Chains A and B, each alone.
Chain A
Amino acid sequence: MKVVIMGCGRVGAQLAGLLDTDGHSVTILDTDAYSFRRLPSTFSGTALVGNGLNEEVLKKAGIEEADAFVALTQGDNRNVMASQIAKHIFNVPRVVCRIYDPLRQELYSTLGVEAFSPTTIFAQMLREKLES
Chain B
Amino acid sequence: MYIIIVGGGRLGYYLTKALLDEGHEVLIVEKNPTFCQIINDELGSVCVRGDGCEAATLADIGTARADMFIAVTGDDEDNLVACQVAKHKFNVPRTTARVRNPQNETIFKKLGIDVTVSSTNIILESIKEEVPTHPLTHLLTIRDQGLEIVEVKIPPDATTIGKPVKELSLPPGSRLALIIPKERKPRLPTSDTILRDGDRVIAVTTPESEEALRAVLRGA
Contacts and interface: CB of A to CB of B under 8 A. Distances in A.
A77 B77 CA distance: 5
Given A103-B56, A104-B55, A77 B85 contact: no
Contacts of B103: 54-55
B84 to A, nearest CB: 7
Nearest to B108: A81
Interface string B74-108: 01111011001100110000000000010110010
A77 B107 CA distance: 15
Nearest to B80: A81
B78 A84 contact: no
Nearest to A111: B88
B141 to A, nearest CB: 22
B111 interface: yes
A76 B81 contact: yes
Interface residues of B, number: 20
Contact of A78 (B77, B85, B89, B107): B77
Contact of A81 (B56, B77, B85): B77
Nearest to A99: B81
Interface residues of A, number: 19
B27 interface: no
Interface in A93-110: 101, 103-104, 107, 110
Which of B76, B84, B101, B104 has most chain A Cβ within 10 Å? B84
Interface string A64-79: 0000000000011110
Interface in B144-159: none
Contact of B85 (A54, A55, A85, A107): A107
A15 interface: no
A88 B85 contact: no
B110 interface: yes
A80 interface: yes
30 contacts: A53-B76, A53-B77, A53-B101, A54-B103, A55-B103, A55-B107, A76-B81, A77-B77, A77-B78, A77-B80, A78-B77, A80-B81, A81-B77, A81-B81, A81-B107, A84-B80, A84-B107, A84-B111, A88-B110, A89-B110, A101-B53, A103-B54, A103-B56, A104-B54, A104-B81, A107-B55, A107-B85, A107-B88, A111-B84, A111-B88
Given A53-B104, A75-B77, A84-B80, 13 more contacts: A53-B76, A54-B103, A55-B103, A55-B107, A76-B81, A77-B81, A80-B77, A80-B80, A80-B81, A81-B80, A81-B81, A84-B107, A103-B56
Interface of B: 53-56, 75-78, 80-81, 84-85, 88-89, 101, 103-104, 107, 110-111
Closest 4 CB pairs of A and B: A77-B77, A81-B77, A103-B55, A77-B81
